[in-house]
Structure 1
Amino acid sequence: MIAYAPAALFFVLFGVGVLRDRRQFSNAVFLGIAVSLLSLALLTELRRAPSLVVEGVAAAIILLPAFGTVALVWFLIANGMTMIRKEGRRPANLLSLLAGLGIIAVTLLLLAALATGSRRLAVLAGTAVLVVLYVSFLFVCFVGYAFLYSRHRPHRNVDFVVVLGSGLIGGERVPPLLASRLNRGREAYEKQAARGNPPVLITSGGQGPDEKLPESHAMADYLTERGFPAEHIEREDRSRTTEENLLFSKAVMERAKPDYQCVVVTNNFHAFRAALLARKTGVNGHVLGSPTARYYWPSATIREFAAVFLSHKLVNFGICGLLALCGVLAAL
C-alpha cells in the first residue's frame, strides 16, 4: 500500500485544485503526476504475477512506445500536409508538420549516438530526449485535462454569454470557425432563456488592420440575420487579443451587474487556454467549446499548448535548462 501513497497524495492535490478552481494548469500537472505514479505502483505488483504476464507487460512497454511514435509521426506529418493544402503556409499551420519532423530529428540523433559511440552525440541526444520527454509530459497533461474540462457543463443560471471573436473572411464575413462559436453561444443563450431569464449575449472582437468593420459587429449581424433578438446583444468592439476580449467583456458585465455569472464561448481547441486567461483576468465564468474541423484540431492544439508553455517560461525554461545540465553531468 505504501507504493500507492505518492499517487494518492497527488490525486488529493488534484481534487482540491478542482474544487478551488477548475481553471488552473496545476490541476493538469497534478493529475498527470498522479496517473504516472499510479502506473509505476501498479508495475511493482508484477513481481507477484506469473512470468508469462511479466513478459507480456515488458514486451508491451518496449513495443507500444516504438509503434506509437511511428504512428504519431505519420499522423503529424499527414495532418501538416492537410493544413498546408487547406489553410495555406502560415507558420501557425505548420506546427503539426514541424512537430513530426522534430520527433524524427531527435530519433535520428539518438540512433546516430548509439551507432557511432560518440560521447558528444550521446550528451546531445540524451539532453534532447530529456527535454522532449518533459515537454511531452506537459502536453499530455494539457490535452488530457482540457478534455476533462470540456466535459463539465455548468448548471447554474448565467447573466451573460460571451462569444470570443476571430478573423473575418474578406474583412467583413463570419468564417465557419467563428460561426461555430456563435451557434454554440446561441445554444447557451436559448438554454438559459428557457429557464425564464434570458441572458445578454456579448459579441467580443475589435477591428483588425485588414478588416472593414469590428468583428463584434459582423458577429452580431450574423446572429440577427438568423432571427436572434437584437435587444439581447451587446457589442464589445475594442479588443484585439483573447485577454482583451475577456478584460473588456468583464468591464461590460460588471457595469451591468457586479455579481454576474457568465459563460464564455470559443472553439474547443481554445477552451482550456481561454479558461486559464479567464481566471487570470478575474472573469467569473466557465468556458464552453464549440466544434472544430478535425484536420484543424492538432495544429491548433499544439499552438494553444505552446502559448500556455510560454506563459510560464521562467519555470519551464528553468526546468529544461536543469535537465540539460543533468544530461551533461551524467555524461561526465
Structure 2
Amino acid sequence: MGALLIALVLLALGAGITAWREPRRLLPGIFGTGAVVIVAMVVVAAVAGACGREVSGAMVLAVVAVTGLVAAAVLGVYLVGTGVELVRREGLRSSMMLSTALGVLLLVYVVGVAAGLVVGWLIPTSDHRLLFVLAAIGVPAAYIGFALLALVIWSAVYEVWARRRVRRDPAGAVIVLGAGLIDGRRVGKLLAGRLDLAQEVFDLAEASGRRPIMICSGGRGADEEVSEAAAMSDYLLTRGMRGDAVLAEDDSTDTAENIAFSAKLLADHRVVGPVAVVTSDYHALRAAMLMRGNEIDGFATGARTASYFVPNAEVREFAAIMWKHRWLNLALVVAISIPWLLAVWDVSVR
C-alpha cells in the first residue's frame, strides 16, 4: 500500500508539473492516467483489507486485469454501436470505419480470453498455450489502451483550459483549420462550426483593443472546385468579417501543413501575442502539439462536434499521434512485452 501511495503522489506531481510547463503535449495525460490506475489499485487493496483478506500484488493485478477486460468489452460494444450510427448518418467510407474496426478487435480479444479461461476451467489438463498467447497479446493491447485513455482524458482537460484562455488572453491571430467541402464548394456543418467559433475568438480579441488577423488554412482537394481556404474566407466575409483581416493559406493538404504554412504567414505579418488555432474539439490537442513543434506561442481550441462522430475521430487522432512517434512506441511495447513473453513461454512449455 505504501508503495502505491508513493507512486500516486509522484504521478500526480508529474502531471501537475508537466501541465504547468507545457500543456500542449500528451505527457501530462500519461502521468494523470497513471495516477488514475494507481488510485484503482489503492481502492482494490483497501477493499480487500476491509474484508479481512491478505492483499497481495497478484490479487491487485488480477482485479485490475479483470476490470480491464470488462472495460474493453464495454468499449468494444460502444465503438461498434457509434460506428454503425456514424455510417448511417455519414455514409460508408473507409475513414469512417476505424472506431468500428477497433471495437470488433476488442470484442474478439475479450471473447478469446473468456473462451480460454472456460477451457482451462473445464479441462484442466488441456493445452493452455492459446490462453497464454492471448495473455501475451494483452500487454501491447494494454499499452495501446492506456495511451488512448490518456489521450481522451487529456484532450478533455486541455480543451477546458483552452476555452478559458480564449477570454483571458486575447489573440493576436486566429488560424482556423479547414475540413472537406460539401459538393466540392460549400462549407459543411463541421467546418461552419469551426468558422463560427473562430469569428467569436476574433471578435473577443478585437473587443479587447487588438487588431488580429484571421488565417483560413486549407488547400484544394482533388474533388473540390475551390480551395477550402477560399470557401472559408467567403463564409466569414458574408458574415461581416473585415476583408483586410482575412488571409487565405491554400497550399496545405493536412493538419501538419496547415500549421507549418500558417506559421510562415504569422512571421510575415509579425504577429505579436498568443495565436489561437480553431478546429474541432476532438482535434484541438493534436493541433496544439503541432503548434508547439512549429514554435507558435498560443493554444488550440475546438468547436463542439456531434457525439456520434467523436469516437471515430478520436481513434483517428490517436492513430496519427502514435504513428508520428512510432519508433518510440514500438520500443516501449517491446520493452514492456519481453518480460511477460518470457514468463508466458516458461509456463507454456512446462
User: Do they fold alike, i.e. is TM over 0.5?
Assistant: yes
Residue 110 of structure 2 aligns with an amino acid whose one-letter code is T
Residue 127 of structure 1 aligns with an amino acid whose one-letter code is A
Question: 1:188 aligned to 2:197?
Answer: no
Instruction: Name the SS of the counterpart of 2:140 in structure 1.
Output: helix
Alignment of 1:232-271 (within 5 A): 232-257=245-270, 259-271=272-284
CA contact (8 A) 2:77 2:107 kept: no
Q: Which runs of 5+ in 1 are unaligned?
A: none
User: Residue 111 of structure 1: CA displacement?
Assistant: 2.9
Question: 1:90 aligned to 2:99?
Answer: no
Distance 2:261 2:34 in 1: 36
- CA separation of 1:118/1:311 partners in 2, compared to 1, >3 Å: closer, same or farther? farther
User: Residue 48 of structure 1: CA displacement?
Assistant: 5.2
Out of 114, 123, 127, the residue aligned to residue 132 of structure 2 is 123
CA contact (8 A) 1:267 1:292 kept: yes
Worse overlay, 318-327 or 197-206: 318-327
CA contact (8 A) 1:184 1:290 kept: yes
The equivalent of 2:111 in structure 1 is: 108
Out of 238, 242, 260, the residue aligned to residue 225 of structure 1 is 238
Percent of matched pairs sharing the same residue: 29
CA contact (8 A) 1:127 1:323 kept: no
CA contact (8 A) 2:282 2:313 kept: yes
Worse overlay, 35-44 or 156-165: 35-44
User: Residue 196 of structure 1: CA displacement?
Assistant: 2.1
The equivalent of 2:20 in structure 1 is: 19
Distance 1:38 1:235 in 2: 48
Aligned CA-pair RMSD: 2.5
User: Residue 281 of structure 1: CA displacement?
Assistant: 1.6
Distance 1:150 1:301 in 2: 14
Residue 319 of structure 1 aligns with an amino acid whose one-letter code is L
Instruction: Name the SS of the counterpart of 2:97 in structure 1.
Output: helix
The count of corresponding residues between Structure 1 and Structure 2 is 329
CA contact (8 A) 1:112 1:121 kept: no
1:5-45 per-residue CA deviation (whole Å, 9 max, x = no partner) reads 22212222222211211101111111112222233334444
CA contact (8 A) 1:10 1:34 kept: yes
User: Residue 267 of structure 1: CA displacement?
Assistant: 0.2
1:180-208 per-residue CA deviation (whole Å, 9 max, x = no partner) reads 10001011011111112241111111112
User: Residue 118 of structure 1: CA displacement?
Assistant: 2.9
TM (norm. structure 2) is: 0.86
Residue 339 of structure 2 aligns with an amino acid whose one-letter code is C
Residue 159 of structure 2 aligns with an amino acid whose one-letter code is S
Distance 1:173 1:313 in 2: 36
CA contact (8 A) 1:181 1:267 kept: yes
Worse overlay, 252-261 or 76-85: 252-261
Alignment of 1:269-288 (within 5 A): 269-288=282-301
TM (norm. structure 1) is: 0.91
1:235-256 per-residue CA deviation (whole Å, 9 max, x = no partner) reads 1111111111111111111121
User: Residue 105 of structure 1: CA displacement?
Assistant: 1.3
User: Residue 258 of structure 1: CA displacement?
Assistant: 5.3
Question: 1:301 aligned to 2:314?
Answer: yes
Residue 9 of structure 1 aligns with an amino acid whose one-letter code is L
- CA separation of 1:122/1:47 partners in 2, compared to 1, >3 Å: closer, same or farther? closer
The equivalent of 1:8 in structure 2 is: 9
